[in-house]
Structure 1
Amino acid sequence: MLGSRVPLRSDNCALLFHRLREGVLTLDPAVEGMRRPIDGTVVWGALMESGMTEGTATVVSLADGTTSLYTSAGGGLVGGGAHRVVVAATRHFLSVVGAHLDTFGEDSERAPVPESGRVTFRALTYVGRRYLDLSEKDLCEPGHAFSALYQAGHEVVARLRLVNARD
């Protein structure tokens, strides 16, 4: 079982979405048991946020395997970390984020959600938060410099949906 499909359909969908998102953005990895590994890994979490006309979808991937999808319009999937196929996709996504980290800028304290048609990647690192904001249309172009990042994030979503469909 995936954990749970979260029916966030209510007048408070956007508020709940922002609370969940803020909770992830302000996590202390050490408190959560994600101590910095000796192998030099810097990224302990990542978000892929897609701006759409009807709101925002946020994929959360953490080094401990925690994997979730939240939407501001209502709905989401949590508990993906209980499934090996999801954890494998999450770890790959974190690795790809780490490989592109030098192209990310320093994130603001506010960390706004992306505008419609934009995708924002957020890297949660042991030395602070970083971000990269790109056009979704551009990311879909073959050979785009960041298409691997986009594909890795979408693989997490695909795996979440796969295990949810089986449950």
Structure 2
Amino acid sequence: MFVRRTHPAEILEICADLRPADRAEMLATSFVDDPAEHGAAIASGLDQAVVALTLLDDRRAPVAFVGFWQIAPGVATVAMFATPAFPSIAKEAHRFCRDRLMRDAVPRAFRRVECRALETNARARLWLKRLGFVEEAVLPRLGKRGESFVQCAWVNPSYRQEAPHELFQ
């Protein structure tokens, strides 16, 4: 597996061949019904991402996208979507996301990372759990066709919350 900063064309290539679960999840909260159109919106906003990476297979074909966007000071939202070729890089992708992102880079940048997974997407929810995310709440009827989502979050274990009295001394 290879990893590099995402080029906008790679997002479009991945969105043209999404895994069915990723397509359902993506389109459930999108204003559009075409993955290519949604992918174009993501591609046009890459400059707003803190991290935007493409995971490639051994032929260097784009297989998955991982992106983090800051939504509040010290807080990010993360998205990941892939093509049906994902199983060919799944183990390496998991190790990369677990070790390089969630254990190394992310704790230096964020105290909290959030992700919403389609409630029926058991595979995504299990993967998030293996990366250290905790399911916080079910969000009923969040999707445009009434789909429910699960709010997941990773909270930085090394973040030290200051006591309120310490903030004013």
**Could you tell me the TM-score, scaled by structure 1's length?**
0.27
Bigger Rg, structure 1 or 2: 2
Structure of greater relative contact order (alpha carbons < 8 Å, 6+ residues apart):
1
